[in-house]
Amino acid sequence: MPPPTTGRAVRLALAVLLCALAVPPAAAAAPRAPSPAKDASWTARPAGSGSGGKGGRPYFYLEGAPGSVLQDRLSVTNPGRSPITVRLRGTDGPGARTVPRPGTEGAPGTGPGAWLRAAATEVTVPARTRADVPFTVTVPAGAVPGDRSGAIAVRGGGRSVEVGLRLRIGGPAVAALTVEDVTVSGRTIHYTLVNRGNTVLAPQVAVRADGLFGTLLRREARALPVRLLPGQRLGLTEPWRDTPALDSTTVRLRVTAAGDAHGEATAHAVFVPWAPLTGGALFLLAAVATGAYAYRRGRPRGRPVDDGRPVDDGCPAGGDRPVDGGRLPGGDRSERDQQHSGTRHSVQAGAES
């Protein structure tokens, strides 16, 4: 028979075990919150696209003449466990504007985004549901034929998605291209390309520079890594590393594109080595100033300058010329006459004797 102390210990252990089995864990009783990542993983794409966008349209493509109304549908899929509310609006992409009229460059709201109207601007999509939202694009009657781009912006649940929209307006295609504002600054040629037509252009540029003694730069036409949309202006540069040190040049740029689009412009540039010329001019001025200063210091002071002309001193030809203000050594003119008279008397007296 076991001692009483051992029996009480066994009964206490059994009681603790029964209590543990009777109370369920708190973690098992609490419901699991839905994953916010899954609730926010909605998608938006053109209607008719397969799951994950495979085998479907990556963007909307619509085509019509001016004045036509084009229709399509946007699919919003909510795979989460709770409803999601999204808002829709149209936006204009790069080049969505028509060819601008003078004074209207940069005017907003003149592309597919402004022409788009959705059946609802706010849509609530239930959990594990897809909603198709119809929309229309009304092409204005005066729209210029050509390609436009835009998008449908969808926002909701802290996310934003844009589904591309490409629109082709029927009519005669016009390819026109100009090159403007050609300047030369240092070792760089600056210029601006302007798409004056209604089609997207892939331009090519050829560069030539001629100086006074021949051709200084010649580059054959090559494709530029840009696409010019209708009405777009784009500033570009062309490097010119071997610029002349001293020359007067004419720089000519010729730009071409498909559809017989072409443009040409020239600019004049004068290259002068200002630093050496300035240094040489300063050295020459310093040398001239130094020579003039040395000449003035070495010139005797007080001596008359003999310019080769005869001086009228009032004396007969062959006589003595006055020195120091018209005075002769030995006295003034009266004293000189007395000396001459005395000399004549002495000569006569000698003759008589």
CA-based nearest residue to 91, from 146, 135, 152: 152
pLDDT, mean of residues 221-249: 92
Q: Considering only residues 298 and 23, tell me which one the structure prediction assigns the higher pLDDT.
A: 298
Query: How many angstroms separate the Cα of 99 from the Cα of each of 40, 70, 72, 92, 232?
Result: 40, 21, 26, 14, 8
Q: Is the pLDDT of residue 353 over 50?
A: no
What order of strands is seen across the sheet that includes strand 69-78? 43-46, 69-78, 129-138, 116-118
Among 110-114, 271-275, 298-302, 335-339, the range scoring the smallest mean pLDDT is 335-339
User: What's the mean pLDDT when you consider all of the chain?
Assistant: 77
Percent of the chain's residues with pLDDT above 70: 63
Band the pLDDT of 6: cuts 50, 70, 90: low
The 10s digit of each residue's pLDDT in 291-319 is: 777 777 776 665 555 555 555 555 555 55
Tell me how far apart the alpha carbons of residues 90 and 155 are, in angstroms, rounded to a whole number.
12
Band the pLDDT of 50: cuts 50, 70, 90: low
Sign of CA dihedral 274, 278, 284, 285: positive
Q: How many other β-carbons are positioned within 10 Å of the β-carbon of residue 11?
A: 9
The 10s digit of each residue's pLDDT in 141-191 is: 888 888 888 999 999 989 999 999 999 998 888 899 999 999 999 899 999
**Alpha-helix residue ranges (DSSP H) falling in the chain:** 4-22, 26-29, 36-39, 112-115, 274-298, 333-352
The 10s digit of each residue's pLDDT in 93-111 is: 754 444 343 333 334 457 8
Q: How many other β-carbons are positioned within 10 Å of the β-carbon of residue 204?
A: 16
* pTM of the entire predicted model: 0.48
Determine the Cα angle at 156 with ends 90 and 115, to 5°.
10
Band the pLDDT of 334: cuts 50, 70, 90: low
